[in-house]
Amino acid sequence: GLLRKNSRLANWNGHDAGLWDGLVKEAEDRKKEGLSKELPRVYGFDNDPEAVSATLENAQHAGIGHLVRVSQKNLQETRAPKSDTKPAGLVVVNPPYGERIGEKTELAGLYQDLGKTLFEHYQGYNAAILTGEKELSKAVGLRANRLNTLYNGKIRCTLSHFNIREDNQFRPYTPRFTQEQ
């Protein structure tokens, strides 16, 4: 990235310094142009104070620190900022999915609470939820309008997209985990 000062790319036998310098210049110009536009505010929340600090530090380095507000709390404690635009905003959530934090069978309630919070307090927003367990994304209780498969390291994940509207009614769902999972 642009913030990386030491690139090992220069040691590669096929490295074309002129081409690389041109690409870096183009990226810097695009960054400058992008930052000159009116950008949306970004609100973030995390239970981990170290994650909050790292996010704020990264935003400062990227030149968007003035647009980013991050605080330590869980999503259930949050409320959507008022907005006149449609969609009002995007909520992106990366809850635990039983790989590092929590057991899959214990997490269904967290996902149900997440879906209920989104439905009750984020009407008009879009949401995206990343999970390594597709069955947990169903526990959100909202109908996904799109699914993407991606990898978080070696973990196959699903990014579920939701339109938070009255007609996408929250429905409690209990995941069906088997002993093998």
Annotated domain spans of the chain = 39-73, 86-181
pLDDT digit string (tens) for 107-163? Answer: 888 898 999 999 999 998 999 999 988 888 888 999 999 999 999 899 999 999 999
The single-letter DSSP state of residue 114 is: H
Q: What is the mean pLDDT of residues 36-65?
A: 90
Q: How much is the pLDDT for 181?
A: 46
Weakest-pLDDT range from 12-26, 86-100, 165-179: 165-179
Element at 146 (helix H, strand E): strand 144-152
Tokens of 155: 């973990």
Fold of 86-181: Rossmann fold (3.40.50)
How many whole angstroms separate alpha carbon 49 and alpha carbon 46?
A: 7
How far, CA to CA in Å, does 34 sit from each of 28, 30, 41, 85, 98?
10, 6, 14, 21, 37
